């Protein structure tokens, strides 16, 4: 097949969008957005993915992890846990933060000392251990009996 026989980007986009319409209901306002999205994605095929630019950290990454605390690479604040701070102060999830600074997946979000202290408390209190407890028999529930029918009233004669 030569390059002249290959369908154009517009033709491929039209085919995909038409096939999508056959099996999905779509509001008229969303048609333009769908065509644009499909065209953009088709146009980006074959290109190498763009590498996100890593941001400059507030402190060196090597100095950001200490046993008793972590330093936020965005603002430089020192704290015991990063996850909540990142979301509330910077609008970042842990994954976004790691991606932004090209950190490993195992980069800690909790200081080692804090994590060890919580683990020790959990061990001391027996958290997570299954204890052998004898099952308590269910209380016997009396079976309700049907109420006895009321005695029949003698029938009255009308008009006598």
- Evaluate whether 82 touches 74 at the Cβ level (below 8 Å): no
The token duo for 149 is 């029918």
The token duo for 121 is 């408390």
pTM comes to 0.49
Radius of gyration of the chain (CA): 35
Per-residue b or e along 36-67, where b marks 16 or more CB atoms closer than 10 Å to that residue's CB: eebbeeeeeeeeeeeeeeeeebeeeeeebeee
Output DSSP code: residue 70.
Answer: E
pLDDT in tens, the chain (160 residues): 455 677 888 898 889 988 888 888 888 888 888 889 988 888 888 777 665 567 889 999 999 999 999 999 999 999 999 999 999 999 999 999 999 999 999 999 999 999 999 999 999 998 888 776 677 777 777 777 877 877 787 777 776 6
- Superfamily designation of domain 51-127: ROS/MUCR transcriptional regulator protein (1.10.10.1550)
Token pair 């209901």 in the structure block, residue:
25
* Per-domain residue ranges of the chain: 9-44, 51-127
């Amino acid at each position: 097949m030569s390059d002249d026989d290959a369908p154009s980007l517009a033709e491929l986009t039209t085919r995909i969008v038409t096939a999508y319409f056959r099996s999905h209901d779509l509001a008229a306002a969303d048609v333009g957005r769908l065509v644009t999205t499909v065209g953009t994605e088709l146009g980006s095929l074959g290109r190498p993915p763009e590498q996100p630019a890593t941001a400059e950290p507030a402190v060196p990454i090597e100095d950001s992890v200490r046993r008793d605390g972590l330093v936020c690479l965005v603002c430089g604040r020192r704290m015991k846990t990063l996850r909540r701070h990142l979301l509330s102060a910077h609008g970042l999830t842990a994954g976004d933060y790691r991606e932004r600074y090209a950190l490993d997946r195992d980069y800690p979000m909790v200081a080692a000392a804090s994590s060890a202290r919580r683990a020790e408390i959990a061990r001391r209190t027996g958290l997570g251990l299954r204890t052998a407890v004898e099952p308590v028999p269910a209380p016997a529930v009396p079976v309700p009996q049907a109420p006895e029918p009321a005695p029949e009233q003698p029938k009255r004669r009308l008009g006598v």
